[in-house]
Amino acid sequence: MKICYTVDDVRKEVKEWKKQGLTVGFVPTMGYLHEGHRSLMEAARKENDKVVVSIFVNPMQFGPTEDLESYPRDLDKDSKLCEGVGVDLIFHPEPEEMYPEGFCSYVDMNGLTTELCGKSRPIHFRGVQTVVLKLFNIVTPDNAYFGQKDAQQLAVVTRMVKDLSVDTKIHGCPIIREEDGLAKSSRNTYLSEKERQAALILSQSLQVGKALIEQGETDATVVKKAISDKIATEPLARIDYVDVVDFDTITPIEQIKGNTLVAIAVYIGKTRLIDNFIIFS
């Protein structure tokens, strides 16, 4: 497995592969890899000749008061995990490599980014879209793999690729959870033992919402209230949002029909966690 630090080095490798007619699968990450990332890499490994993983904590997608500095990093551990899955190349650039002096071009969107996480993280998706398009231009993958845990990100990237005619197929992969239901996330590492326990309220409250829908409830307000009421039973939890939206457009819906995303963001102490489920029609 190779680790490349520059755009040119990645391009050289990928060009060689493409000359040989090999397909490239790509998993963009911010590192501190866990089982969720592993599942994306495994999917990429199965479906492509070559697999590239990027590890880059992208400053552009963090707001001024967010956790850019404290975001966990461990390249050694990440490299071992990648090697174990059979990744061919890690791209691990410095911010200056991705954003050279004078950088002033961005990718933005009118829809999809204003609801859910876009409300409390207004510049987040512009940063995500810009870095993902840059990474796609560098790696030129045939297939790219994203987790459904970041469901809005998955919808945004899917839309961006369609709108901008990017020749990469986007694959959404299921959420990977701890045995007790907590969705795997690099940010779980911020939680104290007490908060880790309290964080179970996210998956538990979603279960309440899911059960209601399975019993035939179609009124989004009823589902949102049931989820919010359950979260309110946990004293360490503070709701950022509980929402029901159309998954393809990320616009709020009143009646549950079509591809529906039920998504929540909840502060447990100072840590903001997200979770969701999607109903595909």
Residues in touch with ligand PAF (CB under 6 A) = 28-30, 58, 61, 128, 131-132, 150, 153
Residue 163 CB burial class (10 angstroms; 0-12, 13-18, ≥19): exposed
Q: How far is the CB of 271 from ligand PAF (least distance, A)?
A: 16
For tokens 């469901």, the residue is 151
Cα dihedral sign, 137-140-142-145: negative
Looking at beta carbons only, is 88 or 150 nearer to ligand PAF? Answer: 150
Looking at beta carbons only, is 154 or 256 nearer to ligand PAF? Answer: 154
Q: How far is the CB of 79 from ligand PAF (least distance, A)?
A: 17
Nearest to 40 by CA among 50, 51, 49, 32: 51
Q: How far is the CB of 105 from ligand PAF (least distance, A)?
A: 17
Catalytic residue flag (residue 37): yes
Looking at beta carbons only, is 131 or 160 nearer to ligand PAF? Answer: 131
Looking at beta carbons only, is 29 or 271 nearer to ligand PAF? Answer: 29
Looking at beta carbons only, is 132 or 139 nearer to ligand PAF? Answer: 132
**Which is it for strands 260-268 and 271-279: parallel, antiparallel or unpaired?**
antiparallel
Q: How far is the CB of 191 from ligand PAF (least distance, A)?
A: 18
The set of long-range contacts for 105-113, using a CB threshold of 8 Å and a minimum separation of 24, is 105/130, 106/130, 107/133, 107/160, 107/164, 109/156, 109/159, 109/160, 109/163, 111/159, 111/249, 111/250, 111/251, 112/152, 112/155, 112/156, 112/159, 112/249, 112/250, 113/152, 113/156, 113/250
Q: At what angle do helices 7-19 and 124-139 cross, to 10 degrees?
A: 50
Looking at beta carbons only, is 17 or 32 nearer to ligand PAF? Answer: 32
**Could you tell me if 181 and 200 are in contact, meaning their C-beta atoms sit under 8 angstroms apart?**
yes
DSSP string, 200-220: HHHHHHHHHHHHHHHTT--BH
Q: How far is the CB of 179 from ligand PAF (least distance, A)?
A: 23
Which one of the listed residues 34, 37, 92, 171 is annotated catalytic? 37
Q: What are phi and psi of 107, to 5 degrees?
A: -110, 130
Q: How far is the CB of 29 from ligand PAF (least distance, A)?
A: 5
Active site residues: 37
